[in-house]
Amino acid sequence: MIKTKGQIITTVLSFYLIALVVLVGTIGKVNAAGVAVSLTPSALTASTPTDVTFSYTSSVNYASGNTVSIVAPAGVTVANCSSSTTDADGDSTPDGSASVSLQTYTYTFSASTTTANSTGVDFCVNYSATTGNYGLSFTDSKTVPSNNDYGSALIYVGSANVVTVTASVNPALSFIIRNSADNGNTNTCALGVLSLIAVNTCSYRLKVTTNAGSGFVVQVNSDGDLRKSGSGNVADNLDIDLVAEDSTVTSGIEGYGIALTGGSITGGTVTEAGDFSDDDTPLPISSATNILTTNGTNNPGGTDTTNTALVTHRAAMDGDTTTGNYTQLVTYTVSASF
């Protein structure tokens, strides 16, 4: 049968379409396998040549003549390690040799591998660069192109992959005088009406808050005796006599002093200083004296009778104590050691 011109053209087009489908099918199969790459170490010191092990697991074993090319970007100096890789798959049998050209490290297999696609391959490459993050990429060539692998990883040189986080804390120091229950502020301490048969007392708490790592010191001073008139250290008939050092205020014997109870604080203790570690102690006149010391920060919150120091004023009279109203001003100062 004689074909017409149209039939001939149709036959030719069909042939090319079939050929194109075959070609497209072939191209679709030539896809290299992406594999995960690890670098040891991945963090390098800037401008310091370092041997880096480039590792991955191949999709199939390598054959003699196959190559692996590892490419570094501009700015990275590439060299062979002092002990150049000969055994890539770790089976103690030499597999090939390495060469370097500019930014590219190339390993050429001279023998077939036996464990590359199970335990992986390791290539030692020496890298040096200034501070920065650099991407290394590799491709290989195998006898069957569809078994080719590729991958990439970063080397971090210097601190280009490091974020420095900073914060600051301002120094803090506060001081309030609280009542003995520590549920309200106070600036008074009423001893009441003295008698021959009792020791009168009144109490309050010293509450210091600070973030000073070395703690704080509280000093105490007074404007004079507990007195009915005058100022400073007045005549005996105008004041309540100060209690003797290392003694106790006793009913029926004229005497006046304070008893101090320290506490505990975060990271340390509130300690009675000097003579104030003994009950009862006379208050200083005109010369500030340490009454409390600490060795850590103190941040009591809310009602807190543990982290506050309790001050108890104690007074007694005898038959010679003169009638009248007695007063004294007691001043506390606080300093912190940051």
Per-residue pLDDT tens over the stretch 90-103 = 999 999 999 999 99
- What is d(CA 294, CA 303) in angstroms, rounded to the nearest whole number? 20
128-144 average pLDDT score: 96
**Window from 44-48, 120-124, 231-235, 279-283 with minimum mean pLDDT:** 279-283
pLDDT of residue 268: 56
DSSP of 8-58, one letter per residue? HHHHHHHHHHHHHHHHHHHHHH--PEE---EEES-EE-TT--EEEEEEE--
CB 256 within 8 A of CB 285: no
190-211 average pLDDT score: 94
Query: What residues contact residue 331 under an 8 Å CB cut-off, 6+ apart?
Result: 220, 221, 222, 223, 288
CB 278 within 8 A of CB 257: no
Instruction: Please state the domain extents for the chain.
Output: 32-157, 173-336
Select from 247, 249, 261 the least CA-distant residue to 199. 249
What is the average pLDDT score of the chain?
87
Bridging pattern class, strands 289-294 and 268-272: antiparallel
Query: What residues contact residue 319 under an 8 Å CB cut-off, 6+ apart?
Result: 196
- What is d(CA 52, CA 49) in angstroms, rounded to the nearest whole number? 9
pLDDT bracket for residue 318 (50, 70, 90): very high
The domain made up of 32-157 is a member of CATH 2.60.120.260: no
pLDDT of residue 25: 36
pLDDT of residue 271: 67
Per-residue pLDDT tens over the stretch 232-267 = 999 999 999 999 888 899 999 999 999 888 776 555
pLDDT bracket for residue 143 (50, 70, 90): confident
Structure tokens at 276: 């104030």
Beta bridge partners of 33: 149
pLDDT of residue 264: 61
Q: Identify which has the larger pLDDT, 275 or 180.
A: 180
Run of H or E residues at 6: helix 5-29
Using DSSP's 3-state secondary structure scheme, residue 322 falls into coil
Beta bridge partners of 205: 178, 310
- What is d(CA 225, CA 236) in angstroms, rounded to the nearest whole number? 10
pLDDT of residue 130: 97
Displacement of CA 204 from its chain's centroid (Å)? 39
For residue 141, the tally of other CB atoms under 10 A from its CB is 17
Q: Give, in degrees to the nearest 5, the angle at Cα 191 between 185 and 192.
A: 115
Is residue 135 predicted with pLDDT exceeding 80?
A: yes
pLDDT of residue 22: 32
Q: Phi/psi at 246 (nearest 5 deg)?
A: 60, 35
pTM (predicted TM-score)? 0.65
